[in-house]
Amino acid sequence: MKVAVVGATGLVGTKMLQVLAERNFPVTELIPVASEKSVGKEVEFKGKKYKVVSMTDAIAAKPAVAIFSAGGGTSLEWAPKFAEAGITVIDNSSAWRMDPTKKLVVPEINADALTKDDKIIANPNCSTIQMVVALNPLHKKYKTTRIVVSTYQSVTGTGVKAVDQLRGERVKQVKGETTDYPMAYKYPIDLNVIPQIDVFLDNGYTKEEMKMVLETKKIMRDENIRVTATTVRIPVMGGHSESVNIEFENEFELADVRNLLSSAPGVVLVDDPATQQYPMPKDAHEKDDVFVGRLRRDETQPKTLNMWVVSDNLRKGAATNAVQIAEYLLANNLL
C-alpha cells in the first residue's frame, strides 16, 4: 500500500502523516510530496525518515492513493494527472468540492456514494465537516429545513503564517518585546476578532461562508436545506467552534435529540449546564471527534434547536476525514 501525501511539509500535511501513523493505516511505502523548493528535505513517519519528492516522481512511483493538501491551484493542475495514472486522489482543497462530477465526502454521512471510478474525491471544508457530522443524525429523523450558523475559527485554519502572527503578537503584548512576525491578516488577531474568512464575494458573503452553504447541501444530498453563515476568525490556536440554529420540519424532544447525538458515530455529547460542562476548543485538541453541547430549544419559533459544535479543525476538519475516506476505500476494495 503505497501512499503519497502531497503538501507533506505543510501544517495539514504534517497532521496527515501523524493521523496515518496513529490510525495504523497500512502504509508499506510513504511518498511525501511538496513544492520544488522542498524536494530533498526529509519528513519523519513512524520513526523513519523519508525524502520529499516532486510531483512527477510521485506519479512514477504509482501510489494507490494520494492525499492532497497543497492548495487549490496545485490540485487543479496535478490531481487529474495522478488520476490519469490510476491513482486515487483525496483532495483537501476547495478545487473539486462543487464539481458535480466529484463526490464530496464525510464518511459518517455519504461514503456509500463512492465507487472504484471515483479517482478524485473532495474533502470538505473544516467548518462544514464538523457541522454536518453533528447535524446528520438529527436531519435523518427530523428533516432540516434551515440552518443559521456562526463560526469561531482557529488561526490554524489559515496556516503557519497565522500561527506565527498570533504568537508574535502575544509575545509583544505579554513581554513587551518587539519581534518580527508575518502578518497573515490585515489586522491584529490577538485580543481581537476578525469577521472575515477568505475573500468577499459579490453577495457580501465571504467565500468561506458560501462554502458552508453549498457544501452542506451537497454532503447532505438535500438541495432544499436553506443555510446562512457568518464565519469569524478568533485568537485560538487550534479548534473551530460553531453556534448552530437548526429549524426542522418535524417536532423533536430534547431527550431524543440527546439520545441521537450520544449514539451518533464521531459525535461526543458534552452537555450539562448544571456543572458547566460544554465543548471548548482546548478539549477537542488532538481528538478526532465532533463535540456537541449547549442543546436548547429556540424559544422564538417552533421545531428549532440551538447547539454548540466544536472540533479540531486540523484533524476531523482536514487530516482525519481524509484518512477516514482512504480507510473506507480500502475496507470496501475500492482502491
Does residue 178 surpass a pLDDT of 80?
Answer: no
DSSP secondary structure letter of residue 38: G
Query: How many domains in the chain?
Result: 2
Task: Specify whether 44 is located in the same domain as 156.
Answer: no
pLDDT tens column, 14-36: 999 999 999 999 999 999 999 88
Q: Cα–Cα distance between 72 and 68 in angstroms, integer?
A: 10
Q: Residue 176 — very low, low, confident or very high, per pLDDT cuts 50/70/90?
A: confident
Structure confidence at residue 179 (pLDDT): 75
DSSP secondary structure letter of residue 186: S
Mind telling me the catalytic residues? 126, 240
| Beta strand pairing call for 42-45 and 48-51 | antiparallel
Task: Specify whether 70 is located in the same domain as 173.
Answer: no
Structure confidence at residue 289 (pLDDT): 98
Structure confidence at residue 174 (pLDDT): 80
Structure confidence at residue 197 (pLDDT): 98
Give SS3 for 99.
Answer: coil
Structure confidence at residue 180 (pLDDT): 84
Give backbone dihedrals phi and psi of 224, rounded to 5 degrees, phi first: -85, -10
Output the nine-digit C-alpha cell for 39: 524536494
Structure confidence at residue 26 (pLDDT): 97
Structure confidence at residue 68 (pLDDT): 98
pLDDT tens column, 80-105: 999 999 999 999 999 999 999 999 99
Q: Residue 177 — very low, low, confident or very high, per pLDDT cuts 50/70/90?
A: confident
Task: Specify whether 171 is located in the same domain as 285.
Answer: yes
Structure confidence at residue 272 (pLDDT): 98
Task: Specify whether 103 is located in the same domain as 23.
Answer: yes
Sheet holding 65-68, edge to edge: 29-33, 2-6, 65-68, 88-91, 120-122, 103-104
Does residue 224 surpass a pLDDT of 90?
Answer: yes
Q: Cα–Cα distance between 332 and 335 in angstroms, integer?
A: 8
Does residue 62 surpass a pLDDT of 90?
Answer: yes
> Which among 63, 60, 37, 41 has a CA at the least distance from the CA of 51?
41
Q: Cα–Cα distance between 60 and 293 in angstroms, integer?
A: 48
On whether the CB atoms of residues 221 and 143 are closer than 8 A, the answer is no
On whether the CB atoms of residues 113 and 103 are closer than 8 A, the answer is yes
Task: Specify whether 190 is located in the same domain as 74.
Answer: no
Task: Specify whether 86 is located in the same domain as 134.
Answer: no
Q: Cα–Cα distance between 123 and 32 in angstroms, integer?
A: 19
Task: Specify whether 70 is located in the same domain as 219.
Answer: no
Structure confidence at residue 192 (pLDDT): 98
Q: Cα–Cα distance between 2 and 29 in angstroms, integer?
A: 5
Average pLDDT of the segment spanning 124-149: 98
16 exposure class (CB count in 10 Å sphere: 0-12, 13-18, 19+): buried
Structure confidence at residue 31 (pLDDT): 98
Average pLDDT of the chain?
A: 96
Q: Cα–Cα distance between 135 and 152 in angstroms, integer?
A: 18
Does residue 194 surpass a pLDDT of 90?
Answer: yes
Task: Specify whether 264 is located in the same domain as 327.
Answer: no
Q: Which domain holds residue 168?
A: 128-313
For residue 138, give the CATH number of its domain.
3.30.360.10
Task: Specify whether 170 is located in the same domain as 308.
Answer: yes
Average pLDDT of the segment spanning 110-134: 98
Task: Specify whether 152 is located in the same domain as 103.
Answer: no
pLDDT tens column, 310-332: 999 999 999 999 999 999 999 99
Task: Specify whether 149 is located in the same domain as 284.
Answer: yes
pLDDT tens column, 239-253: 999 999 999 999 999
For residue 102, give the CATH number of its domain.
3.40.50.720
Does residue 292 surpass a pLDDT of 90?
Answer: yes
Task: Specify whether 163 is located in the same domain as 18.
Answer: no
